[in-house]
Every structure is written in structure tokens, then in C-alpha cells.
Structure 1
């Protein structure tokens, strides 16, 4: 049986929520090995002068727990 750890990562983008989610996974994969899945938990945005200027996606990243031996 494999145990899985889940962490939350916030990605940002000036283009879209999808790009923000991709950014979160891309950055997490730099320090987390064997990412096996993600769940998009939240979409938010920064608004300035009536327009969205930054998209934000909160992503839960799942990966297997390594054996300590």
C-alpha cells in the first residue's frame, strides 16, 4: 500500500487560471518528485481598475511518500 502526501501550491499568471495551475505544478515539480495527480481547489484573481490583472489557482499536489529506509 502506498501512502500519498498532499501539499497546497498557489500558482499565478497574467494570462489565465489554466496557466496559473500549470505554473503551480511546474514550480512544485522542481522540488517534489513523482507528482501523481493534482486537484484545483480554488480560483481567485487580483483586480485593478475594473480588470483582472493576475489569475491565481490553488492546486493540491499529490505524490507518494518515500520509504524512510
Structure 2
């Protein structure tokens, strides 16, 4: 088997957990054969006047078909 990794950044105005869930949901909705997701980093964007944006950078590993 061969696997590929891509980096996604999930966001949420509520929490880091919701930001990770956002990235995980997008990964499973748009990629096939997702095997695992690793959280690589967490950050908060504070430049917005409307409040904070929680961000989670994740690496998504999925099996490459072929």
C-alpha cells in the first residue's frame, strides 16, 4: 500500500476541538480511504475585529489507489 499526506487547516470561532473537527470532516467528505489524521499545530488568529478564530493544522493520510 502507498499512502499520501496532505495538510489541511480547520477553523472555528468556538474552540480548537471544533477546528480539528472541521478539518477532519472536510477530509472525510472530500478524500477517499482516509486512514488517520494527525494534529500538527494549533493557533489563534487575533487580527479579526469580530473575535478570535481558532485554527488547527492537521496532516491527513490516505491510501493512494492504483
TM score, norm. by length of structure 1:
0.83
Deviation at 1:15, TM superposition (A): 1.0
Consecutive unaligned residues of structure 1, counting only runs of 5 or more, are none
The residue that corresponds to 2:37 in the other structure is 38
- Select the structure that is richer in helix: 2
Bigger CA radius of gyration: 1
Kindly report structure 1 stretches of 4+ aligned residues shifted beyond 3 Å. Answer: none
TM score, norm. by length of structure 2:
0.87
Consecutive unaligned residues of structure 2, counting only runs of 5 or more, are none
Partner of 2:34, secondary structure, is coil
Paired residues in the alignment total 64
